[in-house]
Structure 1
Amino acid sequence: MTVLVTGAAGFIGFHTCRALLARGETVVGVDNLNDYYDVRLKQSRLARLEGEPGFSFHKADVSDREAMTAAVDAQDDLSGIIHLAAQAGVRYSLENPYAYVEANVMGQLVMLEAARRAKGLKHFVYASSSSVYGGNTELPFAVDQRVDSPVSLYAATKRSGELMAHTYSHLYRMPTTGLRFFTVYGPWGRPDMAAYLFADAIEAGRPIRVFNNGQMRRDFTFIEDIVAGVLAALDHPPADDGAAPPFKLYNLGNSRTEELSHFIEVLETALGKKAVRRLEPIQPGDVPATSADIEASRRELGFDPKTPIDVGIPKFVEWYKDYVRGRN
């Protein structure tokens, strides 16, 4: 089967492509290699994919209608699309809001339009985010909760993507599945995410910024568990019963919410260095806690996250040290 993966040079996209290739799929990767963070990291990920049999790559922006329509139309046997490309990051949405609407709203629309015209396409899977739960205070977050109180533009664009997917499932009976990711970390992670930011600062002896005065809890989810969930979702397109749209939403999280302070302690142990902590107020757009209800994901996808932070963080640190040595 041929699967098109957008955001192929990104963190989750890279690992998803590797997993698909490992099980014998043909993978068409798409990425615009933008400079939101160090392009060298994206290029390093991509270099590891381009040496794999069955992988091809298109440098393109998902908001480019002509480019994405051409990329999809060129695949005669395209059976699945995994749309992971996005402008990520809650805090950056305060600085550059237009980038979020272009990538996350227009990009989602372009991909849905291309997908509905793809002959033989069985499933459109796309990345959403735990951020859509916004101001909800009932934990754990469940997919049947209302999500109409976003506290960041990033969250609003991700919720918009879910609503558009529902509309396309309704209008065109196209099976779509949205995946709400919870605080993903691991090897090849993004430099703007907590694990990398903290490791970089600790190694250099710089203070780390600990928001909400350290009173934060997150459902940290290891990348291998996330990718297992992505592939399981791809393999289980929602059935069309002729009534309700063939549309699904799932949480993909570790379902073990952790204090940020414990996350930092595990990172300190793995690095063999103590952090200098600079306590700061909670940032606009942030929420104090996330926790995933994954009952539906377990039941319908067989999703079974296995990696606690005590195991996942040392794996991240091992990669981080190797990567930084090679970068320098």
Structure 2
Amino acid sequence: MSLLITGGTGFAMSVVAREWLEREPGARAVILDRAALDAAARAWFEPVRERLTVVEGDVREPAGWADELDRHEISAIVHGATVTPISRGSAEEEARVHPEALMPAKIVDVNLMGTVQLLEWARQRARVRRFVYVSSGSVYRHHGPDWSREPLPEDGYVAPLTLYGISKFAAEMVVNRYADLFGLSALSVRLSSIYGPMDRATESRNFRHVPHRVAQMALDGETIRPNSLAPVGDYLHSVDAAHAILALVDAQRPRYRHYNVASGVAVSIGDIIGWAAEKVPQLRYEVSHADHANVVQDPQLATGMWGAYDISRIERDTSWRPRAGREAFHDYMDWLAAGRL
């Protein structure tokens, strides 16, 4: 039994691949990615490397990988290969040209047409029993639910504004249509803000969510200078995200086409700094003007894609549950600290 993970040499998908191999001693994983294993990925996969195959190829160009994948008994697919052109978190980053403006056609081509090419391959392989598309909370609008601060459900608030979000939502719809046309068991997961092990700069992603930034600065002894302690986010540890995705790979009868994968809780920058201070009592922070801050978030963005996500669907259809935010964040800080010894 082999699981195919596209984008598996990067951040979150590398965690999915390793978690799959660690929990399934007799299974194999196949990664399809344009990028080879870098030093961090080689170290990450070292305990399970003998059961991992890496196929270097562009998901948009099946001539370069279709025959190789056919040599493996692929039974399920987690499609996470994507271009993530996000830059937010400091005054310097805010002043730059939006990264979408640097490669608009590539974003749409990789995120949408790359998905189409993989679906074309999958629909002709009867052995493939599940296709999980890794989407994003970027498909949601910036505000909602309108009537309260309740967690954001999967239905009713989809209104992407960026090329990234538009391409991810378009790919979700294509996945749904292929499922209907060809009898694929396919679904999409919408990730909230993911942080954790293997978060590093890669060719397709170079962005750090608040928990990563705070943890790194705390361990470095750097003064944390947020523009406000109030901004919130639904932050999920990458290992918890991997467990959720794999739970949906295994789900016997998933009842929905779209699932939020998140912590289900919005936590503030102030909360995260407080958790960091429990690990690093000498931590220093000072609220600063955005021009001088090293963590910049908009306090007005507190609902919609920026707030808590409703996770009741995945909780109904699987046994997966996220860890408490404080526990997961401390686990990440411990992992970072161990790597510095």
TM-score normalised by structure 1 residue count: 0.83
Q: Is the 8 A contact 2:232 2:302 kept in 1?
A: no
Structure 1 position 226, deviation (Å): 1.4
Q: Provide closer, same or farther for how the CA distance between residues 102 and 43 of structure 1 changes in structure 2, counting only shifts above 3 A.
A: farther
Map of 1:24-173 to 2, 5 A cutoff?
Answer: 24=25, 25-33=27-35, 42-49=38-45, 51-52=47-48, 53-75=50-72, 77-91=73-87, 92-138=99-145, 139-147=150-158, 149-173=159-183
Separation in structure 1 between the aligned mates of residue 277 and residue 169 of structure 2, nearest angstrom: 35
Partner SS for 1:62 = coil
Counterpart check, 1:270 vs 2:279: yes
Distance 1:219 1:164 in 2: 27
**C-alpha distance in structure 2 between counterparts of 1:238 and 1:170, whole Å:** 16
Q: Establish whether residue 180 from structure 1 lines up as the match of residue 190 from structure 2.
A: yes
Contact 1:8 / 1:31 at 8 angstroms: preserved in 2? yes
- Gapped regions of structure 1 (runs ≥ 5): 240-245
Say if 2:243 is the partner of 1:234: no
| SS of match in other structure, 1:140 | coil
SS in 1 for 2:152: coil
Specify the SS of the correspondent of 1:125: strand
- Give the Å deviation of 1:49: 1.9
Moved more, 286-295 or 308-317: 286-295
For 1:84 and 1:287, how far apart are their aligned partners in 2? 27
Q: RMSD of the TM alignment (CA)?
A: 2.6
Residue 242 of structure 1 is matched in structure 2 by: none
- Structure 2 residue matching 1:251: 3-state secondary structure: strand
Asked if the contact 2:12–2:238 (Cα under 8 Å) also holds between the matched residues in 1, the reply is yes
Amino acid paired to 1:152: T
What secondary structure does 2:132 align onto? strand
Contact 2:40–2:198 (CA<8 Å) still a contact in 1? no
Give deviations 1:293-316, integer Å, cap 9, x for gaps.
1111111122211x2222122221
What CA deviation, in whole Å up to 9, does each residue of 1:270-320 have, x standing for no partner? 34422344443757xx77632111111111122211x22221222212222
Structure 1 residue 247: Cα displacement: 6.4
Amino acid at match of 2:321: D
1:233–1:199 CA distance, 2 compared to 1 (3 A): same
- Report how far residue 209 of structure 1 moved: 5.3
Aligned partner of residue 221 in structure 1, secondary structure: strand
- Equivalent residue for 1:290, pick from 307, 310, 323: 307
Count of residues in correspondence between the two structures: 306
Change (3 A) 1:277 1:86: farther
Q: Distance in 1 between matches of 2:247 and 2:131?
A: 13
Larger relative contact order (Cα-Cα within 8 Å, sequence gap ≥ 6): 2
- Amino-acid identity (%): 22
SS in 1 for 2:144: coil
Distance 2:83 2:35 in 1: 12
8 Å contact from structure 2 (residues 225, 288) kept in 1: yes
TM-score normalised to structure 2 length: 0.80
What does residue 331 of structure 2 align with? 315
Give the match's secondary structure for 1:263.
Answer: helix
